[in-house]
Amino acid sequence: MQPPDHQEFDHVQAHLYPARQMITFLLLLSVGSLAVSGTGCSSSEQTEYRQFSDKIDQSGQETVAASDAADSKSPAAQQNQQSATQPETRADATPEPAPAKQQTTTADNSPAKAEPTPTANQPAKQIRVEELALVARKPDPSQRALTEQEQKELAASEPREVKILVKDRSFRKVAPENVLLINYDDIDLLKVMNMEPVTPQAPELMPEWLKDLDGQRIRIRGFMYPPFQQTGNEFFQLARDNQICCFGKNPKIYDLFPVVMRDGVTTDYILNRPFDVVGVFHIKAETVDGELQRIYLIDDAIVIDK
């Protein structure tokens, strides 16, 4: 038997092993791709690529955040966000504290006046209490100027040096019963002897002409301080003016004193008009627990209302 020649052998091998050429082609292709990849992308280029990619991602995130912020500023988005985040209310749920107010801007884009915010050392509750205390605090009288009337009252309340201002005084006699006619200025101890306040020693310091009135029958005009009943009054208080009678003025001890009617004689209440009283005038200091209560008194009196 004759051996096959070389061509026939190659033909048989090609027929038996058809993938050898394909494998060779793939090997050549792999070697070429490795060369290309080795020359086309270095390690430094990969680092630059990653940095560029990070920048793109960061800029994309900033863009998304800006768009979200713009959407949140719109009234519709805020309303939707509030409705979406508002928790479901229940009967036993406690109310949440109101959020702090955001800073607003005016029409000219200038920031509006911001409300004071509590600091770490000054909580919000303390600020509120201080504001209420400031609003509710009463003015201090010592920090304001006194009126003319208050200055007079303050000066009158300070003890004065007692000295005789009216050294002599005479009185004329009038009807009925030939009595001495006097008025409230004649028995005003501030005008007569500069005494304020009046002390229990006043009768001893009076001028002689005033002391001589003690026990004398006099006639004096004044107003009736409201008594306890309208008719049948056996005694009442005689006041210097109707402000003492009707408007609650604080009278001096010599501006208001008792009048005791004559035995068997009474008087009705005389409302808000002056009248005369005739009776025996007495000067006597009466004290209760060391405080002077009365210095003048008229008894055996009658009322002349004409």
- Per-residue pLDDT tens for 109-161? 555 555 555 555 556 656 555 555 444 444 455 555 667 776 777 666 678 89
| 97 closest CA partner among 128, 66, 70, 76 | 128
How confident is the model over 220-235, as pLDDT tens digits? 999 999 998 999 999 9
Peptide bond just before 203 cis, omega within 30 deg: no
Please provide the distance, in angstroms rounded to a whole number, between the alpha carbons at the two ends of the chain. 187
pLDDT at 197 over 70: yes
DSSP three-state, residue 159: coil
Helices (H) and strands (E) in the chain, counts: 10, 7
Instruction: Supply the DSSP symbol for 149.
Output: H
Binned at pLDDT 50, 70 and 90, residue 41 comes out as very low
Which segment of 97-111, 246-260, 291-305 scores lowest on mean pLDDT?
Answer: 97-111
Overall average pLDDT of the 32-57 stretch? 55
What integer best gives the mean pLDDT of the chain?
A: 74
* Integer Cα distance of 238 and 258 in angstroms: 6
Q: Could you tell me the pLDDT band of residue 191, with boundaries at 50, 70 and 90?
A: very high
Asked if residues 131 and 120 have their Cβ atoms less than 8 Å apart, the reply is no
pLDDT range class, residue 20, cuts 50, 70, 90: low
pLDDT value of residue 128: 59
Question: Poorest-confidence range of 27-41, 139-153, 166-180?
Answer: 27-41
Q: pTM above the 0.85 mark?
A: no
Query: What does the block give as tokens for 123?
Result: 């909580």
pLDDT the model gives residue 135: 47
pLDDT above 80 (res 65): no
CA nearest neighbour of 184 among 298, 300, 270, 287: 298
Supply the DSSP string of 233-274, one letter for each residue: BSEEEEESSHHHHHS-----TTTEEEEEEPTT--B----SS-
